[in-house]
Structure 1
Amino acid sequence: MTSKPIHHVQLSRMEEARRQTQRQLKLIDRQVLRRITSFLPQLARRQTGYRRGKSPDTGSFLERYRNNLAALTAERQPEVDALTRKLARQDAAIAAFRTRFEPVGDVAQPREEV
């Protein structure tokens, strides 16, 4: 009977480590979003208004925005890739742990469709 609480503690530790990895990925996303948001005023200043009958070019603003977003994302991509791989390993480890230590009766039975 002592093995069940030990397995529960191990599983909860593994799940907490997975949640921490997810939080790190979300933090990186928020940091990139915050940085691109801080660039918006600089990007908008380059737009020219109506001069000599020409309308402002919104396509160039979107192009500058996308280029800056791609640069910021590429800057953090190695870290995101490493965390994504770590998350995949953690998912596989949790699934293997559950299949190994969960009792057969606790596994949810699939419903038969009528």
Structure 2
Amino acid sequence: MTIAPETLAQLSRMEEARRQIQRQLELIDRQIIRRATPLVPQQRRRQSLQRGETSGARMVLERYRATLAALTAERQPEIDALSRKLARQDQAIAAHHERQQIALSRAA
């Protein structure tokens, strides 16, 4: 027994919707990093004027991480909503695959 074309089309649409959500999450991640990255060179210039290179480098890293955390916190509701949607889509796709396996095994 073969899988009906409409079932394959539905699965294809579900998988494409999941890929779109994944791309949105990746885009948000890139946007956050892009906003935080310009701060690092500014800190390095200030650091070069001071002594204590290792402690300065550590301070730059800590500031970058703090900035990254703050920017992520701003977008957290959006990230959480997309993550929940992605999890629901994963469950729906898995259930769809399971139904197809059951249908194929009954037909055999």
- Which TM-score band applies after superposition, normalised by the shorter structure? 0.7 to 0.9
Higher relative contact order (CA 8 A, sep 6+): 2
TM superposition shift of 1:104: 2.3
Give the count of matched residue pairs.
Answer: 102
Secondary structure (helix, strand or coil) at the match of 1:92 reads helix
TM superposition shift of 1:45: 3.6
Report sequence identity in percent.
60
Matching of residues 6-85 of structure 1 within 5 Å: 6-47=6-47, 49-50=49-50, 54-56=51-53, 57-85=56-84
CA RMSD of aligned residues (A): 2.3
Counterpart-to-counterpart distance in 2, 1:36 and 1:78:
19
TM superposition shift of 1:66: 1.3
TM superposition shift of 1:48: 5.3
Counterpart-to-counterpart distance in 2, 1:23 and 1:15:
12
| Partner amino acid, structure 1, of 2:44 | A
Q: Which structure shows the higher helix fraction?
A: 2
- The residue that corresponds to 2:96 in the other structure is 97
Following TM superposition, the consecutive aligned residue runs of length 4 or more in structure 1 with deviations greater than 3 angstroms are none
Unaligned runs of 5+ in 2: none
| Partner amino acid, structure 2, of 1:37 | T
- Superposed CA deviations along residues 41-99 of structure 1, whole A, max 9, x for unmatched, are 3333432535xxx4233222222111111111111111111111100000000111111
Counterpart-to-counterpart distance in 2, 1:74 and 1:43:
22
Look at both structures and tell me which one has the larger radius of gyration over its CA atoms.
1
Unaligned runs of 5+ in 1: 106-114
Moved more, 66-75 or 87-96: 66-75
TM-score (norm 1): 0.77
Contact 2:32–2:72 at 8 Å: present in 1 too? yes
